[in-house]
Amino acid sequence: MTEHRAHWCAEVDITVQFYDLDPLEIVWHGNYVKYFEIARCKLFDQIDYNYPQMRESGYAWPVVDLHLRYVKPATFGQVIRVRAEIVEWENRLKIQYLITDKATGTRLTKGSTVQVAVDFTKQELCFVSPPVLFDKLGLPTP
């Protein structure tokens, strides 16, 4: 892993709360998206390009694709570790996620999101990531 790429990964520990459970007393599937978002925001903070900085740069980055793969359920009181890592950036921002049990390392859920840049001024989708993203990642603009 290069020096830059180490910076493109973040982990957060979350204790599963009662309000995240479904009637079967396991985490409701929709809450995994929230867990992804928590880790993604920590990752964006690390590269100094979270939502306020995106807005200031003139770009929105909506999630246009989301994938989840459930392996094992998370339960009340369980401490989970959520890892987010940037794996693509040239034409879109793709982040992969892995949720594990913090104590055992057992894989619980994995997934990915894809975000694309939208120019605020023109209200147009960008087919190439804007220079600001490359700058935040510490890479030369192609």
pLDDT for residue 2 is more than 70: no
pLDDT of residue 42: 97
Question: 3-136, which class in CATH?
Answer: alpha beta
pLDDT digits (tens, 9 = 90+) for 32-90: 999 999 999 999 999 999 999 999 999 999 999 999 999 999 999 999 999 999 999 99
Provide mean pLDDT across the span 107-131.
96
Phi first, then psi: give them for residue 110, nearest 5 degrees: -135, 165
pLDDT digits (tens, 9 = 90+) for 9-42: 999 999 999 999 999 999 999 999 999 999 999 9
The domains of the chain are located at 3-136
Residue 134 is encoded by which pair of tokens? 């490359």
What is the 3 state secondary structure string of 49-98? CCHHHHHHHCEECCEEEEEEEECCCCECCCEEEEEEEEEECCCCEEEEEE
List of residues 6+ apart from 134 with CB closer than 8 A? 89, 140, 141, 142
